[in-house]
Amino acid sequence: MGSWNDFNDAQSNTNLIPKGTLAKVSLTIRPGGFDDASQGWTGGYATRGSTGAVYLNGEFTVTEGQYARRKIFTLIGLHSPKGPDWANMGRSLVRGMLNSARGISDKDMSPEAQAARRISGFADLDGIEFVARIDVGTDASGEDKNEIRGAITPDHREYAQVMGAAAASSGAPDFASAAHQTAYEAQAPAPQGRPSWAD
């Protein structure tokens, strides 16, 4: 045990989750109050920065395992005045989050999978739970910080281990079986009118 006068042998407090760690996380969007209905940005979820960039201010909380309750702050890009790259990365991350949360293979292009990748608004993402691949980036000061840039889908060999046990025991909705049920119902005569999720 080290001395309380000399801290040279104390452990460094890097406090980073190792790059590449897979963890189940829950997203909380910290509202920024910026809306643009023409883009579908409603409900006050988006934030507009001083540069004109628009993003979702994401707070991802690890829900279980070794790093439970740790928080990771990541911006999800919606628009950048510099070009489409940031928004494309944001859309890609949200697609991965939806695939992961709803148990859909990224390669699945069935009508049910496509419906599960649609949201009615950012409120649908607030509270979503999925398997994230934790990365390490740098903050504005150049210090290392954890980030989330991607989600793990059922195609990944460790998905069921990280997501499955918890999903089965927590009574979380099973979007995969719901999608199969929808497929079954689709074979029955369709009622008049088109369901809203099909648009």
The answer, yes or no, to whether residue 27 has pLDDT greater than 90, is yes
The answer, yes or no, to whether residue 84 has pLDDT greater than 60, is yes
The answer, yes or no, to whether residue 194 has pLDDT greater than 90, is no
Instruction: Report the alpha-carbon distance of residue 99 to residue 105 in Å, rounded.
Output: 6
Q: Which stretch of 9-18, 37-46, 91-100 has the lowest confidence by average pLDDT?
A: 9-18
Give the pLDDT of residue 6: 79
Give the pLDDT of residue 8: 76
pLDDT band at 190 (very low <50, low <70, confident <90, very high): very low
- Which are the contacts of 45, defined by CB distance < 8 A and separation ≥ 6? 29, 31, 32, 56, 121, 122, 123, 126
Give the pLDDT of residue 177: 39
What percent of the chain lies above the pLDDT cut of 90? 71
Domain ranges of the chain: 22-180
3-class SS string, 90-142: HHHHHHHHHHHHHCCCCCCCCHHHHHHCCCCCHHHCCCCEEEEEEEEEECCCC
Q: CB–CB of 153/160 below 8 Å? A: no
The answer, yes or no, to whether residue 180 has pLDDT greater than 90, is no
| Per-residue model confidence as pLDDT tens digits over 165-176 | 544 433 334 444
Work out the average pLDDT over 53-82.
96
The answer, yes or no, to whether residue 195 has pLDDT greater than 50, is no
| Per-residue model confidence as pLDDT tens digits over 90-125 | 999 999 999 999 999 999 999 999 999 999 999 999
The answer, yes or no, to whether residue 196 has pLDDT greater than 80, is no
Give the pLDDT of residue 182: 35
pLDDT band at 11 (very low <50, low <70, confident <90, very high): low
Work out the average pLDDT over 138-160.
93
Instruction: Report the alpha-carbon distance of residue 76 to residue 135 in Å, rounded.
Output: 14
